[in-house]
Structure 1
Amino acid sequence: MKTTIHDVARRAGVSISTVSRVMNTPQMVGKSKRLRVLEAIEALKYQPNAFARGLIYKKSFTLGLLIPDIESMYYAGMIRGMQDACIKLGYSLMICNTDRNKERLLAYIDTFHEKQVDGIVFASDAMLPEYHRKLTDYKIPTVLVSTHSEEYSLPCIEIDDEAAAYDAVKFLIGLGHRDIGMIGFHHDNSISGPPRYAGFIRAITEFGLPENTSKVSYANYRFNHAYAATHDLLISYPELTALFCVSDEFAMGAISYLKDRNILVPGQISIIGFDNVRMAGMFIPKLTTVAQPIYQLGYRAAEKLHELITTGRVEIRREILEHQLMIRESTRER
């Protein structure tokens, strides 16, 4: 027969509430009682029932994560970071893939409410009024990761996309490139697309290369879209010697297109990506890229959400993590 919290309390000679406090807030229990309870838990091999624990504390000890694309290499690193933080903090994690579909995302918020999650991490998408209204109505604590909101005062954690893009293009210019193009995200409902474009424009303007302003092609997040966008860009601007791609997946799509056309990377065209996903160091050629601290973004998002759930506030509302340039094989001097 399975051991219950009543068995532990009886063996330790304490109340059920004392056993609960030892498991959840041990600092609130005196040393002698705490040791008796811990010894009873060990002796009886007690495994707390998550549902019963939730009834006592009016919490599910579950966090929800809304991500746009569960197949993306970028989100795999973020999920790993968040999962590790959840283990440390005592939460389970529910992951929902939205495909950037408004109706599906709203339905997932309903599901999270029905499952009584303690809070939600909302990744990468724009916080639309419909989303915020529903989250507010349900009173679900929410933290944004790899996105932010100018309209709503929601805690967030991200990098400085504009500065990171600027550094990437500045690096290409420093290698002697003067004909530089960009494969970017469409700006409609994109959080990172506009600031990364702005970083590209700032760098080429600052270094006296305004003729590159028009050398931009846009794609919809996936490898094959970037492949097609590279074709379109090079048909219009065959003189390009370097490409800034706003994601590593885009960079890989561009390199694949160039390889299929027998255009050497970096011999004829240098490519720089963005993210530093795990595959970036395995790809051929190994990808020069702007490294986001992807794992840390996920980890800190869970920690920040836990802070919001337990205290009702966060110390730093908008937290910016540092990016870093990773120089590998896909770029060279002009």
Structure 2
Amino acid sequence: MVNPPTIKDVAKAAGVSVATVSRVLHNLAGYSDKTKQKVLAAVEELGYQPNAIARGLVNKRTQTIGVLFPDVSSSFSSDLLRGIEDVANDKGFSVIVCNTAEDGKRTMKYLQVLREKQVDGIVFTSEFLKEEYYEAIKAMGVPVVLVSTQSQKHVIPFVKVDDRQAAYQATDYLIQKGHRQIAMIGGTKTDKIAGIPRLEGYRQALEDNGIGFAESRVAYGDFALDSGRRAMEKLLAEAPPFTAVFAASDEMAIGAMGLALERGIRVPEDISVIGYDDLSIARMIFPPLTTIHQPLTEMGRLASDMLISLIEGAGQVSSRIVSHRLVERQTVRNWP
């Protein structure tokens, strides 16, 4: 069996030292353009593949990043991950994905796994950054970027939309369509990152339009499809009459629509529904879901780019509030 070419073979073929080859491969200074072209030509001719472990010994990096998701099976997570992986792969990094489960049941376990894997950085998504998580990441000594969440205690770069403003826009849209009796399917009741801000946006839009807020018209889920069904069932059984529903996630909106259909309630003829996220499934269902678009794949790209900049010591990065927009489809109608 033929042994794969080594860096020494490249150096010999190019007529330079091993140190020069290493400098060229790591984009360091100290050689002419002619020398660089000779080295790259030798690399291509020999089919030399730099060894990731050897690179790690030189730059003390493993070229891996860890990503923590509360639910890797959700469309929300897959859209974010697409963006994260796009940038990571372009920049020579591998991605380790961890499913922390609802309420962060396995977060500490996976932070320990990522520490053992010696990842170079972490993307932390969609969950409140508890103090124990922060301390564990701090002890690892690696940078972290937050996505669709932020820390109110620590200065950590984040990428997210303005959840309160986006929820306000969704509710105000229903009001401008003539709806006054508007229910809400909220996220986790104690969630300070998305659940509470989206409820506040809904409530503020009602109040600014002279509509009283009624706690009885709010039911809570966990952003997943089944919880939307349960919340809609509760609203139909217990809430005062309503003509429209704002759901704090597309999956909950779709779950609510499914339950309504089973009860013979037509969308949008009988009840209008607006969601939040603009997942691909929002375009596929019938009728297509009117929703708030947050650019999840672009958010993933931004987060990955920010993290790798921190890993490579390219300087400070700034947090980003990205733009949302309302996407009109077919689940909201003028009322009456």
After TM superposition, the score normalised by the length of structure 2 is 0.95
Once the two structures are superposed, what CA deviation does each residue of 1:29-62 show, in whole Å capped at 9, x if it has no partner?
4211110110001110111111111111110011
Partner of 2:134 in structure 1? 132
Deviation at 1:253, TM superposition (A): 0.5
Partner of 2:6 in structure 1? 4
Indicate conservation of the 8 Å contact 1:218/1:229, yes or no.
Answer: yes
Deviation at 1:22, TM superposition (A): 2.0
Indicate conservation of the 8 Å contact 2:292/2:327, yes or no.
Answer: yes
AA partner of residue 333 (structure 1): N
Q: Give runs of aligned pairs for residues 215-254 of structure 1, distance below 5 A.
A: 215-237=217-239, 239-254=241-256
Partner of 2:330 in structure 1? 329
Partner of 1:150 in structure 2? 152
Q: Is 1:264 the counterpart of 2:249 in the alignment?
A: no
Deviation at 1:325, TM superposition (A): 0.5
Q: 1:276 aligns with which of 252, 259, 278?
A: 278
SS at match of 2:312: helix
Larger mean Cα displacement after TM superposition, 225-234 or 103-112: 103-112
Partner of 1:319 in structure 2? 320
Q: Give runs of aligned pairs for residues 108-123 of structure 1, distance below 5 A.
A: 108-123=110-125
Q: Tell me, in whole angstroms, the C-alpha distance in 1 between the residues paired with 2:262 and 2:143.
A: 48
SS at match of 1:3: coil
Partner of 1:184 in structure 2? 186
Q: 1:91 aligns with which of 90, 93, 98?
A: 93
Moved over 3 A (4+): 26-29, 100-103, 211-214
Q: Tell me, in whole angstroms, the C-alpha distance in 2 between the residues paired with 1:233 and 1:197.
A: 16
AA partner of residue 328 (structure 1): R
Q: Tell me, in whole angstroms, the C-alpha distance in 2 between the residues paired with 1:189 and 1:16.
A: 55
Indicate conservation of the 8 Å contact 1:287/1:328, yes or no.
Answer: yes
Indicate conservation of the 8 Å contact 1:272/1:288, yes or no.
Answer: yes
Partner of 1:205 in structure 2? 207
SS at match of 2:54: helix
Partner of 2:40 in structure 1? 38
Q: Tell me, in whole angstroms, the C-alpha distance in 1 between the residues paired with 2:202 and 2:254.
A: 19
Deviation at 1:102, TM superposition (A): 4.2
Deviation at 1:313, TM superposition (A): 4.4
Indicate conservation of the 8 Å contact 2:174/2:244, yes or no.
Answer: yes
Larger mean Cα displacement after TM superposition, 40-49 or 248-257: 40-49
AA partner of residue 206 (structure 2): I
Q: Is 1:17 the counterpart of 2:46 in the alignment?
A: no
Q: Tell me, in whole angstroms, the C-alpha distance in 2 between the residues paired with 1:215 and 1:101.
A: 25
Once the two structures are superposed, what CA deviation does each residue of 1:153-180 show, in whole Å capped at 9, x if it has no partner?
1111111000000000010001000100
Q: Tell me, in whole angstroms, the C-alpha distance in 1 between the residues paired with 2:31 and 2:205.
A: 59
Cα distance, 1:5–1:112 mapped onto 2, change above 3 Å: same
Larger mean Cα displacement after TM superposition, 274-283 or 232-241: 232-241
Deviation at 1:138, TM superposition (A): 1.5
Aligned pair count reads 333
Indicate conservation of the 8 Å contact 1:204/1:212, yes or no.
Answer: no
SS at match of 2:155: coil
Partner of 2:52 in structure 1? 50
Indicate conservation of the 8 Å contact 2:68/2:98, yes or no.
Answer: yes
Once the two structures are superposed, what CA deviation does each residue of 1:208-261 show, in whole Å capped at 9, x if it has no partner?
111445410001232111101101112223521000000000000010010000
Q: Tell me, in whole angstroms, the C-alpha distance in 1 between the residues paired with 2:30 and 2:267.
A: 62
C-alpha RMSD of matched pairs (Å): 1.5
Structure 2 residue ranges without an equivalent (≥5): none
Partner of 2:303 in structure 1? 301
Partner of 1:63 in structure 2? 65
Indicate conservation of the 8 Å contact 1:180/1:212, yes or no.
Answer: no
SS at match of 2:102: coil
SS at match of 2:34: helix
AA partner of residue 292 (structure 2): V
Deviation at 1:272, TM superposition (A): 0.2
Structure 1 residue ranges without an equivalent (≥5): none
Indicate conservation of the 8 Å contact 1:67/1:95, yes or no.
Answer: yes
Indicate conservation of the 8 Å contact 1:201/1:213, yes or no.
Answer: no
Q: 1:290 aligns with which of 280, 292, 302?
A: 292
Partner of 1:175 in structure 2? 177
Q: Tell me, in whole angstroms, the C-alpha distance in 2 between the residues paired with 1:46 and 1:333.
A: 65
